[in-house]
Structure 1
Amino acid sequence: MAQLIFNMAVMRFLADHRNFLLTKFFLLASFVGEVEGYILVVTLIYVMFDKTLAVRLALLVLLTMCLNHVLKIIIKNPRPFIHEGTYLQKWAVSTENAKALATEYSTPSGHAMSGSAFYSYLYASVENPFVRIIAVLAILATGLSRPYLGVHYPGDILIGWVIGLLVALVAIKRVDKISDRWNKLSYKYQAAVAVASSLILWLATIAINGWRIDGQPGAFLGYAGFLTGIVIGRPIELSTVNFDPRSSKPLAKMLRFALSVAMVLVSLLLLDKVFRPIADDFSVLGYMLQYIRYTIAGVISIFVAPLLFTKMRLAETNTVGPAEAASRLHLAL
């Protein structure tokens, strides 16, 4: 896809007319559309309100992110200011973030696409007016933050919003049927499907990317790993812990949230330090370790954290009989 002159005119105007407060606001809005931002939102819903909704939102946003990266590799539209070589000066992001983004393509915007899918589904699932207003604002803010920060064209945002909304509409209409079919599979088969699909799609993205294993395929494995972790951990949580997210007082709920987020983020950081000396980030082994790292983090978020805070009496469990507990072992959605 060729760069659009109108888009570049807008990009240059935005780069030349930033101010301190708007930049801080859009950096925060952009963070909401990062993996860490979704971890915070999904964890909040998971440990305080509705486990099933949280799991569905997590799977939806991870699948949307995977689809986004496949589309980026196919379209191969470089980010703004890449050809000019001025992106380090024109992008209002950290140098480390800029170097990572420079290896990826631009169209469609992952922030706009995943935010549109995630918050549109949330909007449709929750009737609370306050939550719906927040969902709409999140879609707008995360999307608009990217051109302002200089890392996406306005056209990338529009395309991302449209595709994300379509993904959400499909999910809203088909989620129950998909869930029923998925839950008929055995637990071992579910885990095998998650791992095999991740590997196949990773190889496909490498092929599309000209048999290069840097850039997009690497980012893809992080999302696929977290998704695999949820598929593995969710049935175990239901069959062995099955905590009630609405149980306990507000203070206990806040402690559950803080504990869960801390465990996931710390595990990602520690595993990164453990795995980094083993293999180069841009090697096959390095990518496999990244997949394992995010898979472990997914299991921790969905199963290990709930197990810990029920042991600490921060949440009550839903008591079920042995037969029902066994039947839940294969449930993921």
Structure 2
Amino acid sequence: MGNTFYFEWEVALMEWIQSWLGPVGTVIASLFSEMGEQLVCVAVLGFLYWCWEKEYGKYVGLNVLVGITLNPMIKNIFLRRRPYFDHAGIKCLKPVERGADIYDISAQGYSFPSGHSTNGVTLYTSLARYKKNRILMIIGIVLPLFVGISRFCVGVHYPTDVLFGWALGLIVIFLVPALQRAIKNRWLFYGLLVLIALPGWFYCRSNDYYTAFGILIGFILAVEFENRFVKFENTRNVLRCILRILLGVGVYFGLNTLLKLPLSKDFLDAATMASYAVRAARYCVIIFVTIGVYPFLFRLGDRIFKRKK
């Protein structure tokens, strides 16, 4: 299942790197790879949005979410198999879906373009574009670079997957803010983003697209809900920041577990339109509650801290 296409130099380069990588190199590459994981993106965005500066979090968050939605839409067009599927000399050192069969393409996903490389650019380079800080500029160049390189070191992407992943991330971080500046009506702008993402429902057959689509819708609804009804204040207090992030991550994972309970594992794992629709709806609810409703609790926390003072 899927398509195989590559340049000979890609395979030769990956085999050479893995022959020299060794256990320590594998650990280092895996750590850099983790920096492009969606969980890390969620943690960084949670800190920005809940603690540091809401508008900063919205700016970076929207770029990241558009990127993670467009990436699987492209993957499901090219259907490129991961390199270790077709080359015995390339090992899978860090599976995309831990615990699943590394040759299960529905679980491990397609290869082109690299989602971690796109995430690296949309997250870390967005941080630098918003603040235009020298340290953030260095982070915005170095981290996406190492995240991308790590993906073909661990054998799950060809170098061309990474190059196009970077390119997609750059397109997103310039295009999305430009559209937002050009379209003054927020709902018209949001509607355009959803319209761009909508075609994936007609052909995408991988969980990552439906997860991303649900998160994108949930995020849009959540920030508007918060802006109208919640209006929480950011804080630079370290203890409050830690509490907000820990509780927020708990709400996210708790809801994810809770919303799965009424559904069987077979249904959740099934590659059917019904299971995809439920997945999108589930993540929409999770993000809406985590981003839009959960900050209601910040007022209570602020009152408690003021009383203690």
Distance 1:310 1:184 in 2: 31
Q: Which residue of 2 aligns with 1:230?
A: 219
Decide which moves more: 255-264 or 149-158: 255-264
Confirm or deny: 8 A CA contact 1:113 1:163 kept in the other structure. Answer: yes
Q: Note if contact 2:18-2:154 (Cα within 8 Å) is conserved in structure 1.
A: yes
Q: 2:60: which partner in 1?
A: 57
Q: Distance in 2 between matches of 1:19 and 1:272?
A: 39
Which of 207, 229, 240 lines up with 1:240 in the alignment?
229
Answering whether residue 159 of structure 2 is matched by residue 159 of structure 1, we say: no
Structure 2 residue aligned with 1:113, among 111, 114, 118?
A: 118
Task: Give the structure 2 partner of residue 92 of structure 1.
Answer: 93
Q: CA deviation at 1:280?
A: 4.2
The 5 A counterparts of 1:1-333 are 2-84=5-87, 86=88, 90-94=91-95, 96=99, 99=102, 102-103=105-106, 104-178=109-183, 180-183=184-187, 200-206=198-204, 213=205, 216=206, 218-245=207-234, 247=235, 249-277=237-265, 279-281=267-269, 282-313=271-302
Task: Compute the RMSD of aligned alpha carbons.
Answer: 2.8
Percent identical among aligned pairs is: 24
Query: How far off its partner does 1:100 sit?
Result: 7.7
Return the alpha-carbon distance in structure 2 between the equivalents of residues 38 and 301 of structure 1.
15
Q: Are the counterparts in 1 of residues 41 and 123 from structure 2 also a CA contact under 8 Å?
A: no
Counterpart secondary structure, 2:85: coil
Note closer, same or farther for the CA distance 1:35–1:274 as it changes in structure 2 (3 Å cut).
Answer: farther
Question: Which residues of structure 1 form unaligned runs of 5+?
Answer: 207-212, 317-333
Question: Normalised by the size of structure 2, how large is the TM-score?
Answer: 0.85
Gaps of 5+ in 2: none
Residues 143 and 273 of structure 1, relative CA distance in 2, 3 Å threshold: farther
**Offset of residue 74 of structure 1:** 2.0
Letter of the 1:40 partner, please give it: A
Query: 2:21 corresponds to which letter in structure 1?
Result: R
Residues 33, 116 of structure 2: 8 Å contact kept? yes
Q: 1:160 to 1:259 in 2, by over 3 A?
A: same
1:110 shift after superposition: 1.3
Counterpart contact for 1:121–1:169, Cα < 8 Å: no
What is the rounded CA distance, in whole Å, between the counterparts of 2:76 and 2:59 in structure 1? 26
Q: Deviations over 1:140-163 (max 9, x none)?
A: 121111001100011211122123
Q: TM-score, normalised by structure 1?
A: 0.79
SS of match in other structure, 1:170: helix
| Alpha-carbon distance, 1:287 to partner | 1.3
User: What letter corresponds to residue 57 of structure 1 in structure 2?
Assistant: V
Q: What stretches of structure 1 move > 4 A for 4+ residues in a row? A: 192-198
**Cα distance change of structure 1 residues 172 and 231 upon mapping to structure 2, 3 Å threshold:** closer
Larger displacement relative to structure 2 (263-272 or 47-56): 263-272
